[in-house]
Chain A
Amino acid sequence: MKRFSIIICLFTATNVFAQTIKNDVVFNAMEQEMQRTMSLSKTAPKIHFAAFKVGDYSGVSVIAARGGIAQEQQKQWVNTDVNLRVGTQKEDSSFFEANTLTQSNLQDGALSPEGIRAGLWAAADKTYKQALDIYARKQGYKNKKAQEEVFDDFSAATPVQDVKTYEKTIFPMDKFKEIAQKTSAAGATNELEKFNTNIVASEEIVYYLSSEGAKYTKRDLLIQITFYAKGRTKTGFEFDDNKTLSYAALKDIPSVKKLENIARNFAKQTAAFTWAQKGTAFIGPVWLSGEASAKMFENTFIKNINNTRKTIFDMGNGNFKYSLGEFALKENLKVLPVNFDVVDNPLQDNFNGQKMIGAYNVDDEGIKAQALSLVKNGILKDLPKTRSLIKGQIKTNGHAITNWGESLYAKANVRNLFFFPHEITPIEEFKQKFMNYCKAEGLEYCYKISTRNIAGKGDILTTKINANTGEETPVYGLNTPVLNTRTLRDIKFAANDLTLYNTPAGISYVVPSVILSEVELTPSQASPATKMLVTRP
């Protein structure tokens, strides 16, 4: 696609994507529009809180297959969003769901005073009318349904001022193309039918202003390199897997050589399943290694510790979008084995020299971030909290996260988690420990899972480990059940290999490899594909 690269010469593209604007210009425009917005309500219910966001977004992506570029893309845009509450702090237009009413009104904008104000004006007009509607519906609903427990919808807090100047990142497309081409070629083994590399880099510089005076800027930069491998066993069973590497800065991206090695190793590991045996039903200990362990914690712990405040909903036959996290009602109960602590610390931005992409300084309600001890000795001690109160809560702990453009109000979320086991086994001894435990359970073999796909979403690739000899055999065609919070209490052993995982959703977590005492693996029902009609070119 050499010809294509001249659609706009790099000189021009670089200028475009480096376009910047002074903080003062942005905030002046935001302040002017904030004044107008606050003047909207002359009578009750009045606006008691408004927050504006301007997001200056740029992104690039490259897809390569077996050494050839299949797609390259660069884009940039500006969006504006408004969060607005009518009523009083005690009772306002938040935490009430009625069909799609609580969708955010994200608007396009442009990086000029007029472009910013026009976007905010359009979003504020829609959001204000929407807030009035939600407030009225909420009042109406409360006339027909009694509320068991009522907590203030919003609480007082000290607004943060944290305005920094960020230079826009120039994404090195040529470098990304080189990485994509070389790594996709490195992974293109004869055994694998497909090996692709997909690089996605995005940056959003966020400007935030609230009616209480909170004012900050932040930069969300994320570069992800995903390898995708697909093959089939000798018996025709198709398998695939992917591996994503996430980075929060250009300088964190390893050298091309190193990435080629990672791609090669991943391809080799995946290609090994070409000769895999078909798995049979199994109940017993399972070793979750690396990303499999990370994915288990994500599916069982992280998804259930979010959304700690109940939302009143009157959805008719619609789907309720924001269900209460399972841990919201389990404070002071045992959620993990007694030898586990869990901390969410958004202020820690690296682990062993690697960037943690979930780190932030100010949350989406304009509150300073703070470390939070969630689990101590296996007991759930605290929850992430926002300015919307829950039982026993006096104030926020700085964990309000808004998926701008999706939810109208911030929800309690965790972003930077550390799972610390007290009793750990050196990773070198972990396999022997697993074999011993397997034997003690009266089994000839047990399974080790290393891939991300462990969420009950289909077939996974596993390794059968002989409990006596330690021999490892690749196995295909097994499914795991959907893992739930009960799984966490089945953690029997943890290794000392604490590793950082940055997820595509912008969450970071540090986890050890673990052995679960009992997991049920069931054989796949899928039929293998027939042979290829034509030989490989």
Chain B
Amino acid sequence: MKKYFLPIFLICALLTPTQAKQNKMQSTVLNTLEQELKREFKQLKKAKPPVYFMSYQITELDNYYLDATLGTISYEKKINEAYLDIDVRVGSRELDNTHKIKLIDMDLLSNNSNKNPFVIKVPLTNQAALKNSIWLTTDLVAKAAQEQYLKVVNNNKTAATRNDNSADFSKAPKKPAQYIADMPEVEINIPELKKELESLSALMKGYDFIYASGIEFYAVKETNYFVNSEGTKIKEPRILIRLSYKINSRNKDGMQLSRTNSYDGVTMQDLPSEEQIKQDILKSIEELKQLQNAPSADTFHGPVILKNRAAGVFFHEILGHRVEGHRQKDDDFGQTFTQKVGEQIVSPIITVYDDPTMTHFKGVPLRGHYLYDDEGTPSQKAMMVENGILKGFLMGRSPIKNFPNSNGHGRKSYGRKVVSRMGVTVVEAQNQIPYDELVQKLKEEIKRQNKPYGLIIDDISGGFTNTDTYSPQSFKVQPLLVYKVFPDDRPNELIRGADIVGTPLTSFNKIIAAADDNALFNGTCGAESGWVPVSAIAPSLLISELEVEKVNKTYDNVPILPPPSAENKTKKEAK
């Protein structure tokens, strides 16, 4: 889509100025936040009980959405807004109001929720109005924090002790972060973009097995303003552009079938050409047609290749979420890896780290990249697993035993409270081999295990993992394209309706080989601190044993009449 860059008069600057200019440019919003924080903190630290830390964060969002279906624009929306999140900590770093209440009975007033009930929309164009909003909200947040602190103090006396008694908040950094950058410039030719989406969505017309389809464009310009009482002062802009399509069908047995694809960038030039997207759509249509006629999956356990992007999602879901720092501290989580630092938890050929400082992979921008996390800590590479051995956790400013400091992974979306999250998760493997050789190794493994077939998980939509103690410590990953691979020369066979299930400790140790085809999955991850953009990079992996179960399906029958756009085609076929 490079042609959008043409500076003709119809082009509108969607997402503005360029080049980060650290510590040089002033920000009125940031200064207003800083002034009000200083004024409020001066008085609140004398309150009873006293406030010892405060931060103000404004998330300024400038969103644009454009959808097309069957050759016509079907939805368009633009919305500009800004949200204020306030963190007020009462007590001390050792014990403050954020300390999790240990539930003795079902105490509905314990306020352990990760939602911020006081998030509000604020006006940024008027300093007096902004200050007024900050003042009113600070009062609500501070009073709630004081109330919660009193509950925490009492709960600490009356409830049983927890395994990890680390402090609630890490020490102030020696040098608080100061960073101010302005929004880079991005230009989008909206009329051209509309033509493009209409043309691409028209490709999905005329197929009797496509029941719904569409192409979506989404651009967000997000500016994160952050100040705290330790002197941190940040204005970090972020741009995310995504173009995606979805093509849906349904089988006669009620199973929902779909093919989707998405492309990410921070400028329009990052998106692939129209021709490339066209080819991808046509390929997806063909895959969907094949899926309609594909046999339904049986339950299975045996050797599996997780293709690169699928492997990235697999590690994100199954390992990544389990090494988030806050889950090691809270006894309500399964703490699969808490006591295993220094032990082998994954096959020794695997190394995993999370590095949000990375900006690109093979020229493609990484959605999970950021410079400062939502606690104002600079992002940094965090080693999770080195040669199969657990080295550490993803940390925000909530310390855990032996890990007292943040490594810049405290993240959230507006209206939520920070927990540690992934950014750019990278899976590296030793002794990588060409993909074809990996497939040969799969065939050998099928024979060795005397299985009738193995599987290749080619594409994956997402997944989830249970991390609390109430549920089994299991995971489920939802593939979109799965092929049966036979030990002989028979061609691969597409199947539908398979979910990968398992438990992490067992599954990770069964990785036996990796291909040299590292690839990127850009996505959005939802957890208790909201939806955050993430990336995962991994090679294709051969796993000696994974379990597959049948998907849950509906009983919705296929439409009685063919889609209108395929009506003539159906009539011709009938003749």
Contacts and interface: CB of A to CB of B under 8 A. Distances in A.
A69 interface: yes
B39 A68 contact: no
Highest count of chain B CB atoms <10 Å: which of A12, A77, A128: A12
A77 B67 CA distance: 9
Contact of A40 (B36, B188, B561, B563): B561
A428 to B, nearest CB: 40
Contact of A533 (B44, B194, B560): B44
B12 A6 contact: yes
A533 B144 CA distance: 12
A533 B139 contact: yes
B143 to A, nearest CB: 7
B129 A110 contact: no
Interface string B195-216: 0000000000100000110000
Given A6-B16, A114-B205, A125-B559, A537 B39 contact: yes
Contact of B62 (A7, A9, A532): A7
Interface string B311-334: 000000000000000000000000
Contact of B69 (A15, A16, A115, A536): A115
B214 to A, nearest CB: 8
A193 interface: yes
B125 A2 contact: yes
A63 B43 CA distance: 31
A488 interface: no
A112 B36 CA distance: 52
Give chain B's interface secondary structure class. Answer: mixed
Contacts of A537: 36, 39, 128, 131-132, 134-135
Given A112-B71, A115-B74, A534-B139, A6 B36 contact: no
Interface in B115-138: 121-126, 128-136, 138
Interface string A14-49: 011001000000000000110010011000000000
B534 interface: no
A534 B71 contact: no
A533 B76 contact: no
A469 interface: no
B81 A70 contact: yes
B564 A66 contact: no
A348 interface: no
A181 B128 CA distance: 13
A6 B185 CA distance: 11
Given A78-B74, A122-B212, A125-B561, A4 B80 contact: yes
Contact of B74 (A5, A36, A109, A184): A109
Contacts, number: 192
Interface string A101-126: 00000001111101101100110010
B78 A8 contact: yes
A8 B72 contact: no
Given A77-B75, A533-B142, A537-B36, A7 B126 contact: no
Highest count of chain B CB atoms <10 Å: which of A6, A67, A110: A110
A75 B76 contact: yes
A36 B567 CA distance: 10
B82 interface: yes
B14 A112 contact: no
Contact of A118 (B39, B69, B130): B69
B211 to A, nearest CB: 7
A65 B131 CA distance: 11
Contacts of B74: 77-78, 108-110, 115
Interface residues of B, number: 66
Given A4-B62, A532-B139, A533-B139, A65 B564 contact: no
Contacts of A11: 10, 12
A143 interface: no
Interface size class of chain A, counting residues whose CB lies under 8 Å from the partner chain: 35 or more
A60 B408 CA distance: 39
A73 B77 contact: yes
Given A6-B12, A114-B564, A194 B136 contact: yes
Contacts of B79: 71-75
A1 interface: yes
A6 B47 CA distance: 44
Contacts of A39: 561
B69 A66 contact: no
A250 interface: no
Contacts of A112: 70-72
Contacts of A36: 561, 564, 567
B129 A68 contact: yes
B14 A8 contact: yes
A64 interface: yes
15 contacts: A1-B80, A6-B16, A68-B125, A68-B126, A69-B125, A70-B122, A74-B76, A75-B76, A108-B75, A112-B70, A115-B74, A125-B561, A533-B44, A534-B39, A536-B135
Interface of B: 10, 12-16, 36, 39-40, 43-44, 47, 62, 64, 68-82, 121-126, 128-136, 138-139, 142-143, 183, 188, 190-191, 194, 205, 211-212, 219, 221, 557, 559-561, 563-565, 567
Given A66-B128, A73-B81, 18 more contacts: A1-B80, A8-B64, A8-B190, A16-B76, A32-B564, A36-B567, A63-B121, A68-B126, A70-B121, A73-B78, A73-B80, A112-B72, A532-B135, A532-B139, A533-B47, A534-B138, A536-B132, A537-B36
Interface of A: 1-9, 11-13, 15-16, 19, 32-33, 36, 39-40, 63-78, 108-112, 114-115, 117-118, 121-122, 125, 128-129, 181, 184, 188, 193-194, 530, 532-537
